[in-house]
Amino acid sequence: MSSGEYQKGLLEKMPKTIRKIFNWGRSFSLWPVHLVTGCCSPEYMQLFGPRYDLERWGILPLASARQSDVMIFVGNVARKMMIRAKKIYEHMPEPKWVYVVGACASSKGPFPESYSLVRVKDYMKVDMFVAGCPPKPESIHYGFLKLRERVLNEVGMYESAGAIKST
Ligand code: SF4
């Protein structure tokens, strides 16, 4: 039994009220480990400045993989980077979510014929996409709030276990 399945079993046995408390706590402590590249990156960086201040939602950057529960891809993702990202993803405990920002990470954006860029969804289950080239900081912020809703409602929790495609 994988640790994800074990945790899922524990969660299912808990009374609903306790689960709600757990999920409420998780929704205010989403710590992203991030892969941020390309011209989308300045849009993402603004989220941790005073104007958008994502930390007020408990979303802290710079956490280590062992303490993170969201993997965020921003900008263009190369095949070689994805191999490393996959290893980091495997270090993250369950439950965990994947958040993809921008056209490049979603669908290779303006580089559909690139030999080196990949789409994140071909390698792991993605829980949230934000479209745009680049998306505005407001859109990325909104995506995080929608992801919080999924956490509160247990949408997609534990489904990611074993969902990674080999490279
Ligand atoms: S989606 Fe557009 S803005 Fe973002 S990294 Fe790709 S080309 Fe740049």
Question: Does ligand 1 lie within 6 Å of residue 21's CB atom?
Answer: no
- Token pair for 62: 């710079």
Q: Which ligand 1 atom is the nearest neighbour of the CA of 40?
A: 4
Q: 78 in a domain, yes or no?
A: yes
Confidence of residue 84 (pLDDT cuts 50, 70, 90): very high
Q: What is the pTM of this model?
A: 0.86
Task: Name 35's bridge partners.
Answer: 73
CATH (domain of 69): 3.40.50.12280
Q: 165 in a domain, yes or no?
A: no
- The one-letter amino acid code at 122 reads D
Please report how many Cα atoms fall inside a 13 Å half-sphere around the Cα of residue 66, on the Cβ side.
0
Residues spanned by the domain of 124: 3-152
Q: Give residue 75 CA to ligand 1 midpoint distance, Å.
A: 5
CA-wise closest residue to 123 among 49, 21, 40, 35: 35
Q: Give residue 61 CA to ligand 1 midpoint distance, Å.
A: 21
- Residue whose entry in the numeric block shows the structure tokens 């580089």: 111
Closest CA to ligand 1's atom 8: 39
Q: 12 in a domain, yes or no?
A: yes
Question: Inter-axis angle of helices 16-27 and 137-152, to 10 degrees?
Answer: 160
Q: Tens digit of pLDDT for each residue in 127-144?
A: 999 999 999 999 999 999
Q: 159 in a domain, yes or no?
A: no
Work out how many domains the chain is built from and give that number.
1
Sign (positive or negative) of CA dihedral 127, 130, 134, 139: negative
Q: 158 in a domain, yes or no?
A: no
pLDDT, residue 60, reads 85
Q: 160 in a domain, yes or no?
A: no
Which one-letter DSSP state was computed for residue 125?
A: -
> Is the peptide bond prior to 50 cis by the omega test (within 30 degrees of 0)?
no
Question: What average pLDDT score do residues 97-112 get?
Answer: 93
Confidence of residue 162 (pLDDT cuts 50, 70, 90): very low
Q: 50 in a domain, yes or no?
A: yes
State yes or no: pLDDT of 124 exceeds 70: yes
